[in-house]
Chains A and B, each alone.
Chain A
Amino acid sequence: MRHPFDRRAFLRGAVVGGAVAVAGGAGLRALLRQPRPWDEAAFRPPGEAHVAVLTASSYEGSLEATVLDGLRAIGADVRGANVLLKPNLVEFDPSTAINTEPRLIAATVLAFRRLGAASVVVAEGPGHRRDVQDVITRSGLAEAVADVDAPFIDLNAAPIRLIRLRSRYTDLKELWLPAPVLDADVVVSMPKMKTHHWAGVTLSLKNLFGTLPGRVYGWPKNILHWEGIEQSILDIAGAVRPSYAIVDGIVGMEGNGPISGEPVQMGILVFADDPVAADTIGASLMGFDPERIPYISEAGLFLGQTDRDRMQQRGEDPEGRMRSFAPPPLGDGIIGA
C-alpha cells in the first residue's frame, strides 16, 4: 500500500492528465511511523551538509569560473570520477525559462573537468516532450554540449536496469533506471529554480523525475503521478542518491510552473553536496517555507539535511538574497520562509 501522508497544504485534488493527485507529507509524523518507510541500513542519518550561494548576474561571461568556485566551496571531489549531469529539460518555449540554461550546463562540464573528472556526460529524459531531439536542439543544449565535446544521453532511450527500492513511499517496489545513471560515479542534479503547480517547487529532488525512462513510465512519466508525485520523488531520490546539486537560479520561474510560469531575474546559483540541503536553501530563497513543502521535509528524515544549523554555508547570505516568488496555483500554503 502506498505510504500515506497527511495532506496539509496545497495539493488538494490535484489532477494530472486526468490522473489522480498526490498526497502531501508531515515530516515529523514519519518519525512516529513504524516501520519507517525506508530501510534504515541503507540510509545513514543525514550528516552535515555544505552549501554555497553564489552571485551570477547572467549566463554571459565567466560562468565556468563561478561554477568552479561553487564546487570548491562545497568541497566537491570528483577526481577520476565519471560524472553525470542531470539538468532539467522539460520542453522548450523561447518566451520563458523552463529549462536549466544550456550555457550553465556547458560551463559545468568544463568545471568538473578542471576538477579532475575522468568523464562528464549530460543526461536527461524529458517528461513532457517525447521528441527529445527537437527539445535539445531548439533549446540550444545540443549545440552547447557539442561545443564542450560532451555527450548527451537521452535517458528515455538509454539502456535500463531494474533495481529494488530501499524506500517504500510508492507501491512500485522496483524502478527501471537508466544504466548511465546507475553506472555513474557521481550524479549531479541541476534543476531550474522554479515553482511547480503540483509539487510546490522543482529543485534538485523533483528534477530526478527525468531520470526515469518514459518508454516504461509513459509521458509525462504518468505512472509516477498515479503513485503520487511526492512519494515518487522520495523513492526516486532514494534510488538515485545524487552526490551534488547545482541549482540554476540565475533566471528562475515563478507562478504556474513548471511550464507556464513567468521568468524571475534571481541572479544566483546554489551549490550543495546534499540535494535536500540544496532544496531547503533553494525553497527559502524563493520565499517558501521548506518545512511546508512535504517532500522536502520528509526527505530531511533520511535523504539529507534540512537543519540549517547543520549546514556549512559559504558565499552569499541566503537571507539577503531571498525573493518572494509568486506561488504556483493552489500553493499559498508554502509561503513564509
Chain B
Amino acid sequence: MPEDAAHLLASLRNTDGGFGVGVGQPSETEPTVLAALALDDAGARGWLAEHQRENGSFSFGAGPYVNDSVTGLGALALEPGRERERALDHVESKRARRVDSTSAVPIDESAVGWGWAEGTASWVEPTATALWALRLMRPLSVAVKDAVALLRDRESVGGGWNYGNRVVLGEELPPFVQTTGIALVGLSGMDPDLEGRGLDTLSRLWRVESEGGLSLSTTLAAFRVHGRMHEARAVRSALERLVDRTELLGDGVALGWAALAMSDRLPGEDR
C-alpha cells in the first residue's frame, strides 16, 4: 500500500520538524525535502525555512566544500514565496566548474551543469534535480538549456545515464536505473529524442535492478512524469512489494523517494 512508505517515512520525523536519514538520526536536508514533498508536511517546510542559507541554498559543509546539491529539490518542496524564490535564484545562478575534455574522459567542455558541491564538476543527478525545479518554475531560464545540454552530453551510448560520464578511458559506461530515472524526471518535455532513448533504456533495465528502493522509486517517478502509466503500474507493484518486504532498509532518502513517487504530489506529473 502506498501508505506504507509514507508511514515509514513519517516515523523518521524529529521533534524539530525535520526528518533524519534513519530512525533517531538528526534532521538533514534531503530526507526533509522529500518528506515535505511526499507528505505535504508543514513541519518539514518549517525546518527547511530555518535551515536555508543566506544564499538561498540548502547545503552541507565538508571542509572547504559546500554540498548544495539538494537545493533544486528544496525549491520544489517549498511553498510559493520568498524562500522558494531564493532557492531558485541559487540554483539558477550556480553552475558546476567547467573542466577540460581529455582523451581519458572526452566531454563537451561547453556543457556545464550542476555538481554535488560548489566548485566541482557536473554530474547527472544534481543536474537533473536542478532541471526539474527550473523547468517547472523558471521555464524560460537559460539554465534550463544548460541542464539539458549537460544531460545530452553525458547520455550513455544507446540511451540512459550512468552517474556522470559517457566514456572513461575508452570504456562506454552503462546506464543505471536510478540515475536514468532521475534524469528523465528532470528532462520531461525538453528533448523528445533524448527522453525516448532514456525511457526505452529504463523499460529494458528496471526489472534487472529492481531489488533497490531508490531505483524503483525514481523509475516510478519517471514513468509517471512521462505519462507511461502502464509501466508505472508495474513498477509501483514491485515497489510496494519491496517496501513491504524490506522497508527499504529504513533509509530516509529511499523512503522519501518511494513515498513521493507513489503520492499524488509528484511535481510535474503528466496527468
Are A and B subunits of one complex?
yes
**Residues of chain A whose beta carbon lies under 8 Å from any beta carbon of chain B:** 13-20, 128-135, 137-138, 154, 157-159, 170-176, 197, 215-220, 222-223, 226-227, 256, 259-260, 329-330
B64 contacts the other chain (CB 8 A): yes
Determine if B211 and A138 form an interchain contact, defined as CB atoms under 8 angstroms apart.
Answer: yes
Determine if A13 and B104 form an interchain contact, defined as CB atoms under 8 angstroms apart.
Answer: yes
Specify which of B25, B120, B170, B249 is in contact with A133 (CB 8 Å cutoff): B249
A229 nearest CB across to chain B (Å): 14
Binary interface profile of B, 186-220, with partner A (CB < 8 Å = 1, else 0)?
00000000000000000000000111111100000
Q: Give the A-B contact count at a CB cut-off of 8 A.
A: 151
- Docked Cα-Cα span, A208 to B251, in Å, equals 22
Instruction: Give the nearest-CB partner of A93 in chain B.
Output: B174
Determine if B116 and A218 form an interchain contact, defined as CB atoms under 8 angstroms apart.
Answer: yes
Determine if A256 and B125 form an interchain contact, defined as CB atoms under 8 angstroms apart.
Answer: no
Determine if B211 and A137 form an interchain contact, defined as CB atoms under 8 angstroms apart.
Answer: yes
Determine if A132 and B249 form an interchain contact, defined as CB atoms under 8 angstroms apart.
Answer: yes
Specify which of B107, B120, B215 is in contact with A131 (CB 8 Å cutoff): B215
State which of B3-11, B161-169, B227-235 sits at the interface with chain A.
B161-169
Residue with the greatest number of chain B CB neighbours at <10 A, chosen from A15, A170, A330: A15
Specify which of A217, A219, A260 is in contact with B62 (CB 8 Å cutoff): A217
Contacts of A158 in B (CB 8 A): 22
A133 nearest CB across to chain B (Å): 4
New A-B contacts (7) at CB < 8 Å, excluding given A13-B104, A133-B212, A134-B178: A129-B176, A131-B254, A134-B215, A135-B212, A138-B209, A159-B26, A219-B116
A166 nearest CB across to chain B (Å): 14
- Docked Cα-Cα span, A173 to B117, in Å, equals 17
Contacts of B214 in A (CB 8 A): 130-131, 133-134
Determine if B22 and A18 form an interchain contact, defined as CB atoms under 8 angstroms apart.
Answer: no
Determine if B64 and A172 form an interchain contact, defined as CB atoms under 8 angstroms apart.
Answer: yes
DSSP class of B's interface residues: helix, strand, loop or mixed? loop
- Docked Cα-Cα span, A135 to B62, in Å, equals 26
Determine if B63 and A133 form an interchain contact, defined as CB atoms under 8 angstroms apart.
Answer: no
Instruction: Give the nearest-CB partner of A128 in chain B.
Output: B163
B102 contacts the other chain (CB 8 A): yes
Instruction: Give the nearest-CB partner of A329 in chain B.
Output: B169
Contacts of A159 in B (CB 8 A): 21-22, 25-26
Asked whether A329 and B170 contact (CB < 8 A) given A18-B105, A130-B214, the answer is yes
B90 nearest CB across to chain A (Å): 17
Binary interface profile of B, 69-110, with partner A (CB < 8 Å = 1, else 0)?
100000000000000000000000000100110101101000
Could you tell me which residues of chain B, from 241 to 271, have a CB within 8 Å of some CB in chain A?
A: 246, 248-249, 251-254
B154 nearest CB across to chain A (Å): 9
Subset of 28 A-B contacts with CB under 8 Å = A13-B102, A17-B164, A18-B99, A18-B105, A130-B125, A130-B163, A131-B212, A131-B254, A133-B212, A133-B248, A133-B254, A134-B211, A154-B249, A157-B251, A159-B26, A171-B64, A172-B62, A173-B64, A217-B116, A218-B116, A218-B117, A219-B116, A222-B116, A223-B63, A226-B65, A226-B119, A256-B170, A260-B171
Contacts of A133 in B (CB 8 A): 211-214, 246, 248-249, 251, 254
